[in-house]
């Protein structure tokens, strides 16, 4: 279960650096929004702003949104703390992902992600052969 996780730990960030170079990376995003934020907006409203503002950085990194959907039902798992949204973004490589998230201009808008989310699972996936 994902709980109270918004940002990677130093250990998680370091482990991602061992991802195979020059291999596409798919990030599975599993998100649950706060009902209200310190800015008196819903988490969904704040995240929508973040998502819109992050798009140029995603495009610049060479990544593409593969699929996005709202969670309807948790059939197996914790339905009381169900995520609200899940989506897949494919990056050409882990270096493309790191290039995006380390970009100082991206970091200026990234705070909205943390503001919006109750939890924000980000799971790095390698296509199975």
Residue spans of the domains in the chain: they are 23-125
CATH topology of domain 23-125: Alpha-Beta Plaits (3.30.70)
Per-residue pLDDT tens for 7-54? 888 899 899 999 999 999 999 999 999 999 999 999 999 999 999 999
Min mean pLDDT across 40-44, 65-69, 77-81, 112-116 is at 77-81
Give the predicted TM-score (pTM) of the model.
0.90
Indicate the pLDDT class of residue 80, thresholds 50, 70 and 90. Answer: confident
Cβ–Cβ < 8 Å for 28, 123? yes
CA pair distance 107, 127, nearest whole angstrom? 28
Per-residue pLDDT tens for 82-109? 999 999 999 999 999 999 999 999 999 9
Residue given tokens 């882990």 in the structure block: 94
Beta-bridge partners for 66: none
């Amino acid at each position: 279960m994902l709980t109270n996780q918004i940002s990677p730990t130093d250990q998680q960030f370091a482990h991602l650096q061992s991802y195979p170079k020059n291999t596409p990376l798919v990030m599975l995003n599993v998100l649950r929004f706060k009902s209200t934020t310190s800015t008196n907006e819903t988490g969904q409203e704040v995240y929508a702003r973040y998502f819109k503002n992050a798009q140029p950085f995603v495009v610049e990194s060479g990544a593409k949104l593969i699929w996005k959907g709202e969670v309807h039902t948790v059939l197996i798992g914790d339905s009381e703390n169900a995520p609200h949204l899940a989506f897949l973004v494919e990056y050409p490589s882990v270096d493309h992902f790191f290039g995006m998230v380390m970009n100082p201009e991206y970091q200026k808008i990234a705070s909205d992600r943390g503001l919006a989310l109750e939890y924000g699972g980000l799971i790095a996936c390698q296509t199975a052969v």
